[in-house]
A = this chain, B = another copy of it.
């Protein structure tokens, strides 16, 4: 399985993904799910993938190419807006669907592939999209500034409590890491290393792309402190006084 989160802030966009893939509990492997498409100074795009790994690689491969017949020659490399880029990504998903879905169906396999597509193309502010397996998509707003892919539920409560569009990139990165920690703690199919990409609005260069493994001092300290402090807060909450102690 997978856990990806993309957070659109006034200050830019934060992307975080794990790198574990598995078929059942065997064949556990490491594949990175965050893909960069960039022409510094002109366009910075990041695509996160979730779903069947062969489908994910097929769609990323299509997006890397400089010609996509199904998009009438529009690609991530020449799209004029992020909306066009999301359309291109959706068309790539549909192209993979046309190629693979019948064969998958004959094995009883579901076509599961979804994307987060975010970034900035000169002339526009940064934008963030969630592309569905159907190939259509939605865009984030100030009220709903983040999207998740994959094992989204474990890590959603902390995002709902903390994320607002006016956070700094660092605060949002911290929140994404806490959300990832909760997910990894409760679900074996999400695992290290992590890809953290931070893009600062109007910079047209990736501020930070950090690969976080179990040696990472900051992430280790966040995990430890968060667990300890959460436990401390929990212990300090009063017990119910509805009935006599037992």
Interface residues of A (CB under 8 A from B): 11-12, 151, 153-154, 156-158, 160-162, 168-171, 173-175, 177-178, 182-183, 185-187, 198, 200, 207-208, 210, 218, 221-222, 225-227, 229-231, 233-234, 236-243, 245-246
Contacts and interface: CB of A to CB of B under 8 A. Distances in A.
B154 A234 contact: no
B11 A246 contact: yes
Contact of A154 (B154, B162, B225, B243): B154
A57 B8 CA distance: 45
Given A157-B154, A174-B239, A226 B233 contact: yes
A162 B154 CA distance: 15
Given A160-B186, A186-B153, A170 B234 contact: no
A225 B175 CA distance: 19
Contact of A170 (B161, B177, B239): B239
